[in-house]
């Protein structure tokens, strides 16, 4: 007889696949049995730890299928000062001022996330503003979209990049595009800082009930994950998805999707077919409501076809960021051309303006819709989508209900906006439009089993069944009880491979 290391009893366990149960036994990091308390207590040996949960709700730990963990981590460690919540230019400057006071002279302060459209001042941060609060420290303040940044005079003195004249306004201290990115390259975090960022973000993930993520990465991020994993210090399962510009290195090294282990695994190759609705560069068929443009595709179709096929032929899963309806067609065209089929599980990321015809094609090609239910927080009159797209397109943005009805699989993730599955589930359940709305059970399933399927791990993760990973969470309340306040539920405990974090 196999005895359990841990038995949770008197719980309200949502197994996701087998209905509810009230006890679960764990051995060697895996689930040994799920069932009734009095039955499972027979698996107890003297050393077995027994936890009486007094009716608390247990779910499989969440898997976030679209994340940028390092960005969250650098904010957590303070490497980046977050300005995204500032409601005025003055407030942003105040934050920078207090950070300056806690920073050694001449050390860089890197602030990011400001959005002048949300401010009453309605103008960019400028060199003169920053000089006022930071006369002795070099300061760079990155706009939310990453395409524009403001620097102060001290930063200009320390600039080692040669600005392109058309991308540099010295008087106002504004840098754009390539010049901006060249400066940011100079300010990259060290390997040590990246590892600290991963650990800080992992602690945040645990507080949010997340034990696994599908992360979009650059080589330095992989280096940080690999170094921590080698030291047995990576407390999060990471399915890492490199951007397509690194494809040739992976092909040359003979690596492909699935390489790695149950903690750190190579995932898909990430493409960007278009931009975002906020920046009006998501590619649409009909023009934006508030500007005379239809956005833009990032690739010529032939080039996208060629690259996607190359990755597909070398054994890679493919994930294509495609937000606008025109970009989704470009992505589908390239995936079909490459020979997409259900067993390859290629993915479209976001798929915000997906049409019924496109959903049919996705089902035929076995393509997963990797969606972010938190995005519907910006749907509805006067919010983010409606002024850009008009009322009709707003009502069918992020149509989770329609996607499922078409027989297309969904994986839920957050894109870090914000990180936190319960927040996303809250919005999927309380979405403004019927086409977006899901039941609590459906939304939980997409943030667990749906995400596990998107990394080929549905046999070992995503539900609470014997033989699967013992990754689970304990909630303060049952989300099916009061569906209007799911975003107020706290994750009280998170377990990774049967260990409480
Ligand atoms: Zn993203």
**CB under 5 Å of ion ligand 1: residues:** 415
Are 332 and 469 members of one domain?
yes
**Ligand 1: centre distance to CA 347 (Å):** 13
Domain boundary residue among 163, 186, 209? 186
Instruction: Report if residue 465 sits inside a domain.
Output: yes
Locate 98 and state its tokens.
Answer: 């207090």
Cα dihedral angle (106, 107, 112, 116), rounded to 10 degrees? -10
As a whole number of angstroms, the distance between CA 124 and CA 174 comes to: 9
Residue 404 near residue 368 (C-beta atoms within 8 A): no
Instruction: Report if residue 501 sits inside a domain.
Output: no
Are 163 and 225 members of one domain?
no
Q: List the one residue out of 463, 468, 257, 216 whose CA is nearest residue 343.
A: 257
- 58 forms bridges with which residues in the sheet? 13, 474
pTM for this model (two decimals): 0.92
Split at pLDDT 50, 70, 90, the class of 224 is very high
- 112 forms bridges with which residues in the sheet? 82, 142
Residue 332 near residue 365 (C-beta atoms within 8 A): yes
Alpha-helical (H) ranges within 89-241 are: 89-101, 127-133, 153-158, 177-186, 191-207, 219-230
As a whole number of angstroms, the distance between CA 268 and CA 315 comes to: 9
Are 38 and 95 members of one domain?
no
Q: pLDDT tens-digit profile of 315-338? A: 999 999 999 999 999 999 999 999
Backbone phi, psi, residue 85, to 5°: -95, 0
Q: pLDDT tens-digit profile of 335-387? A: 999 999 999 999 999 999 999 999 999 999 999 999 999 999 999 998 889 99
Are 137 and 236 members of one domain?
no
Instruction: Report if residue 62 sits inside a domain.
Output: no
Residue 385 near residue 378 (C-beta atoms within 8 A): yes
Split at pLDDT 50, 70, 90, the class of 159 is confident
CB atoms under 10 Å from CB of 433, counted, come to 16
Instruction: Report if residue 65 sits inside a domain.
Output: no
Is cis: bond before 207, omega within 30 of 0? no
Instruction: Report if residue 428 sits inside a domain.
Output: yes
Locate 317 and state its tokens.
Answer: 């899963």
Instruction: Report if residue 286 sits inside a domain.
Output: yes
Are 350 and 220 members of one domain?
yes
CATH code where residue 42 lies: 2.30.40.10
Residue 96: give the domain boundaries: 80-186
Instruction: Report if residue 160 sits inside a domain.
Output: yes
Q: pLDDT tens-digit profile of 233-272? A: 999 999 999 999 999 999 999 999 999 999 999 999 999 9
Are 23 and 100 members of one domain?
no
**Ligand 1: centre distance to CA 215 (Å):** 9
As a whole number of angstroms, the distance between CA 430 and CA 436 comes to: 9
What is the DSSP pairing of strand 264-266 with strand 269-272?
unpaired
What is the DSSP pairing of strand 57-60 with strand 472-475?
antiparallel
Are 164 and 229 members of one domain?
no
Cβ-based neighbours of 105, under 8 Å, separated by 6 or more: 136, 137
Number of structural domains, the chain? 3
Are 295 and 251 members of one domain?
yes
CATH code where residue 348 lies: 3.20.20.140
**Ligand 1: centre distance to CA 380 (Å):** 22
Are 318 and 201 members of one domain?
yes
Residue 388 near residue 448 (C-beta atoms within 8 A): no
Q: List the one residue out of 18, 20, 16, 7 whose CA is nearest residue 53.
A: 7
**Ligand 1: centre distance to CA 148 (Å):** 19
Residue 103 DSSP symbol: S
What percent of the chain is predicted at pLDDT more than 70? Answer: 100
Domain boundary residue among 159, 186, 213? 186
Q: Which residue has the tokens 């909630």?
A: 475
3-class secondary-structure state, position 241: strand
As a whole number of angstroms, the distance between CA 97 and CA 101 comes to: 6
Are 221 and 346 members of one domain?
yes
**Ligand 1: centre distance to CA 321 (Å):** 8
CATH code where residue 180 lies: 3.10.310.70
Are 163 and 247 members of one domain?
no
Number of H helices, E strands in the chain: 17, 25
Are 146 and 219 members of one domain?
no
**Ligand 1: centre distance to CA 8 (Å):** 36
**Ligand 1: centre distance to CA 319 (Å):** 11
Instruction: Report if residue 121 sits inside a domain.
Output: yes
């Amino acid at each position: 007889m196999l005895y359990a290391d841990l038995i949770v009893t008197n719980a309200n366990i949502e197994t996701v696949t087998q209905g509810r149960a009230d006890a679960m036994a764990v051995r060697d990091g895996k689930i040994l049995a799920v069932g009734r308390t009095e039955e499972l207590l027979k698996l107890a040996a003297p050393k077995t730890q027994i936890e009486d949960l007094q009716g608390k709700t247990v779910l499989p730990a969440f898997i976030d299928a679209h994340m940028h963990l390092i960005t969250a981590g650098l904010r957590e460690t303070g490497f980046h000062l977050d300005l995204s919540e500032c409601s005025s230019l003055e407030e942003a400057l105040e934050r920078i001022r207090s950070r300056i006071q806690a920073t050694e002279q001449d050390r860089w302060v890197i602030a990011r996330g400001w959005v002048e459209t949300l401010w009453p001042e309605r103008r960019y941060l400028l060199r003169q503003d920053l000089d006022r609060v930071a006369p002795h420290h070099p300061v760079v303040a990155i706009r939310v979209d990453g395409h524009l940044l403001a620097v102060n005079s001290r930063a200009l003195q320390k600039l080692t990049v040669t600005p392109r004249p058309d991308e540099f306004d010295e008087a106002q201290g504004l840098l754009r595009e390539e010049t901006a990115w060249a400066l940011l390259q100079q300010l990259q975090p060290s390997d040590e800082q990246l590892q600290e960022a991963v650990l800080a973000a992992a602690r945040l993930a645990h507080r949010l009930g997340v034990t696994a993520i599908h992360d979009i990465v650059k080589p330095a991020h992989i280096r940080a994950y690999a170094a921590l994993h080698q030291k047995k210090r990576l407390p999060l399962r990471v399915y890492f998805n490199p951007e397509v510009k690194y494809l040739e290195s992976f092909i040359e090294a003979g690596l492909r999707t699935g390489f790695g282990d149950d903690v750190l695994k190579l995932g898909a190759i990430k493409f960007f077919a278009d931009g975002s609705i906020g920046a009006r560069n998501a590619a649409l068929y009909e023009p934006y409501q508030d500007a005379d443009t239809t956005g833009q595709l990032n690739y010529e179709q032939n080039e996208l076809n060629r690259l996607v096929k190359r990755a597909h032929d070398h054994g890679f899963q493919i994930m294509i960021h495609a937000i606008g309806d025109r970009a989704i067609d470009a992505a589908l065209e390239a995936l079909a051309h490459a020979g997409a089929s259900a067993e390859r599980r290629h993915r479209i990321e976001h798929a915000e303006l997906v049409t019924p015809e496109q959903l049919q094609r996705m089902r035929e090609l076995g393509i997963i819709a990797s969606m972010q239910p938190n995005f519907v927080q910006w749907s509805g009159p006067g919010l983010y989508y409606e002024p850009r797209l008009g009322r009709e397109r707003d009502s069918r943005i992020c149509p989770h209900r329609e996607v499922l009805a078409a027989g297309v699989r969904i994986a839920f993730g957050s894109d870090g906006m914000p990180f936190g599955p319960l927040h996303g589930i809250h919005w999927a359940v309380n979405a403004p439009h019927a086409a977006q709305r899901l039941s609590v059970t459906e939304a939980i399933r997409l943030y667990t089993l749906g995400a596990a399927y998107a990394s080929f791990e549905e046999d070992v993760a995503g539900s609470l069944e014997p033989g699967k990973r013992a990754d689970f969470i304990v909630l303060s309340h049952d989300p099916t009880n009061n569906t209007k306040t799911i975003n107020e539920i706290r994750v009280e405990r998170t377990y990774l491979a049967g260990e409480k974090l």
